Amino acid sequence: MTTTIEPPELIEPEQPGGPAGHGPDSHGHESEHAEHGPSGLLKWLTSTDHKVIGKSYMITSLVTFFISGAMALVIRAQLSNPTSSLVNFQTYNELFTMHGSLMLYLFAGPFAFGGLANYIVPLQVGAPDMAYPRLNALSYWLYLGGTSMMTLGFVVAGGAASFGWVAYAPLSNSINSPGAGTDMWLMSLGLTGFSAIFTGVNLVATIFYLRAPGMTMFRVPIFSWNMLVTGLLILIAFPVLFGAVVMLFCDRHFGTHIYSVQGGGVPVLWQHLFWFFGHPEVYILALPYFGIVTDIIPVFSRKPLFGYRGMVFATLSIAALSTGVWAHHMFTTGVVLLPFFSLLSYLIAVPTGIKFFNWIGTMWGGQLSFQTPMLFSIGFLFAFLMGGVTGVLLASPPVDFMTHDTYFVVAHFHQVLIGTTVFAGFAGFYFWYPKMFGRMLSERLGKIHFWLLFIGFWVTFLPQYVVGLKGMPRRVADYLTSNGWTGLNQLSTVGAMIIGFSFLFFLVNLVTSWRKPVPAGDNPWDGGALEWFTSSPPPHHNFTHLPPIRSERPVWDYNHPEHRKDEGHGEKRHREHEEKVGANS
């Protein structure tokens, strides 16, 4: 069935009575009636609606997150005592490999660009759907297939992949890592890689071509801007990964010698290819979450974003620089140009710093309200700052030579990635959940979730920095009492358990909101972007009408005509405008 879409009609804010059904508490769930097509399981299998696909992505990636988080708890339990025998060494290798792989490839990225972005970007730019709805559905099915395949590696003979999430050659060749689990891991990356590429294409095309009238590029909300840049980074990075994986598969099964010295190949080529994907991947994981926080902070500060254009250019420069820093993961191989990669890595701190100051500038002097999404966003600021600063340390080759492959690095990237994907990711989830499901989550449970997570986070990872500096290498399944690492490891394990415990409150929160729904209304947070103009959840093609789009906060302009700026945006023009108003009065 194919539907032809015409753009929604214009509603002027001055119109008496306003649009039917618009307002903070009107029409909760009636939009469900507008949906057509099959229902139930068949609806899930056949839907090309970006909202259904986005929700499927989110549920799948959250399930992956919980499976992978449970593996992390087993890993921490194993490390809580020296010479522990909770799991054997092979199982331990499989656990940390699958923990990293599931989290990085199959939770962090897909949750953002498959789940939240899929749902929110068309709404934010005023589009009826993604540009290629059927391609979007294909992305999800490839992702689901890939995720199932990687996870099912545990049940085949020989077990799951066990060479770390980076699969360095020659450890990943057919002699050192035989068995179907490794092949399933590789093929899973192939499938999910294509899934990501298709989503990237979709995001770029949607934001380029399906913006509503008046939604110029510099009025697109920062979350969608970041998703555009993420889409471009995906198009740069994932094809390289796919190529690398195919070559590794050929090495394993078809007798080529691309990564093996015996046949004239170069093992370190894998590292070059992998990290040329891998470092942009870090920003593919981080940029969407920066975008989430950038959308949340102005709403809960009740101010426009400070430095809109600065944010856009910072995002673009982070993306551009991130592609030139891959070999800072390879400093200790001795075959890379240290000054080049060190300098470019340091440079990334500049646009990231601009973002930080803009976030603080947005909060500065605002009417802050610390609801759950805002708490998580502020948690992100602290967590990411610590992770980012230790990242600047690691960009220095002398420091990296000392700390490479120790727990210092483990603590660094966990602080970066939990800061972004968990703190900012759940900030976005709490922020947009009312829009997606038309019901609120409990503030009390959300805040308990935040504080337990925040405390557990620091208790887990601060000791890991210290134990890393004391020399504990990563990926070891046991250590000696005489190493003196026991106390710090136990502290870290306690922290991990607190993190695990905090998610119980999240699950209880979800269950409560389903059993005793509290209607959310269209715009529970008084947000300013277009997604808050339509009903919660939105009707089949998102909008029945749209406000005039004259700034990056069209819904704020519509709901607060007293603050409306008729043209332009950004603090400079706003100031000029106010000066003019002041001079006239």
Site for another protein in 144-173 (CB under 8 A): 144-146, 149
Give yes or no for residue 416 binding another protein (CB under 8 A): no
Nearest distance from residue 244's CB to another protein, in Å? 10
Nearest distance from residue 567's CB to another protein, in Å? 7
- Listed ranges 4-12, 55-63, 362-370, 412-420: which one lies at the site for another protein (CB under 8 A): 4-12
Beta bridge mates, 519: 439
Nearer to another protein, 249 or 525 (CB): 249
Nearest distance from residue 37's CB to another protein, in Å? 4
504 CB contacts (<8 Å, ≥6 apart)?
none
d(CA 164, CA 300): 40
Nearer to another protein, 76 or 252 (CB): 252
Classify residue 9 by its DSSP letter. Answer: E
Site for another protein in 383-402 (CB under 8 A): none
Q: Is 41 exposed, middle or buried (0-12, 13-18, 19+ CB in 10 A)?
A: exposed
Q: Which of 41, 157, 175, 337 binds another protein (CB under 8 A)?
A: 337
Beta bridge mates, 406: 473
Type of residue at 455 = I
Site for another protein in 101-130 (CB under 8 A): 125, 128-129
Q: Which of 43, 444, 573, 580 binds another protein (CB under 8 A)?
A: 43
Q: Which of 167, 203, 210, 418 binds another protein (CB under 8 A)?
A: 210
Nearer to another protein, 45 or 511 (CB): 45
Nearest distance from residue 527's CB to another protein, in Å? 21
Q: Which of 67, 235, 349, 508 binds another protein (CB under 8 A)?
A: 235
Q: Are 131 and 207 in contact (CB under 8 A)?
A: no
Nearer to another protein, 79 or 273 (CB): 273
Beta bridge mates, 271: none
**Helix residue ranges, H only, 302-424:** 308-322, 338-363, 372-394, 397-403, 407-417
Nearest distance from residue 2's CB to another protein, in Å? 3
Nearest distance from residue 282's CB to another protein, in Å? 16
- Centre a 10 Å sphere on the Cβ of residue 100 and count the other Cβ atoms it contains: 19
Give yes or no for residue 241 binding another protein (CB under 8 A): no
Beta bridge mates, 441: none
Nearest distance from residue 179's CB to another protein, in Å? 10
Site for another protein in 519-578 (CB under 8 A): 540-541, 545-546, 548, 550, 567
- Listed ranges 112-120, 313-321, 408-416, 524-532: which one lies at the site for another protein (CB under 8 A): 313-321
Largest CA distance in the chain: 82
Q: Which of 117, 142, 197, 386 binds another protein (CB under 8 A)?
A: 142
Site for another protein in 275-294 (CB under 8 A): 276
Task: Give the count of alpha carbons within 13 A of 285, CB side only.
Answer: 23
d(CA 86, CA 304): 52
Q: Which of 65, 242, 306, 326 binds another protein (CB under 8 A)?
A: 326
Q: Which of 477, 568, 476 is nearest to 88 (CA)?
A: 477
**Helix residue ranges, H only, 254-334:** 267-301, 308-322
Q: Which of 137, 169, 445, 477 binds another protein (CB under 8 A)?
A: 137
Type of residue at 206 = T
453 CB contacts (<8 Å, ≥6 apart)?
379, 422, 423, 426, 498, 499, 502, 503
Q: Which of 20, 34, 45, 360 binds another protein (CB under 8 A)?
A: 45
Nearest distance from residue 177's CB to another protein, in Å? 14
Q: Which of 22, 31, 47, 352 binds another protein (CB under 8 A)?
A: 47
Q: Are 11 and 19 in contact (CB under 8 A)?
A: yes
Site for another protein in 167-206 (CB under 8 A): 180, 183-184, 187-188, 190-191, 194
Site for another protein in 442-501 (CB under 8 A): none
Nearest distance from residue 273's CB to another protein, in Å? 7
d(CA 452, CA 444): 12
Give yes or no for residue 347 binding another protein (CB under 8 A): no
Type of residue at 387 = G
Strand, helix or coil for residue 473: strand
326 φ/ψ angles, rounded to the nearest 5 degrees: -60, -35
**Joined tokens for residue 536:** 């919660």
d(CA 14, CA 33): 29
Nearer to another protein, 5 or 511 (CB): 5
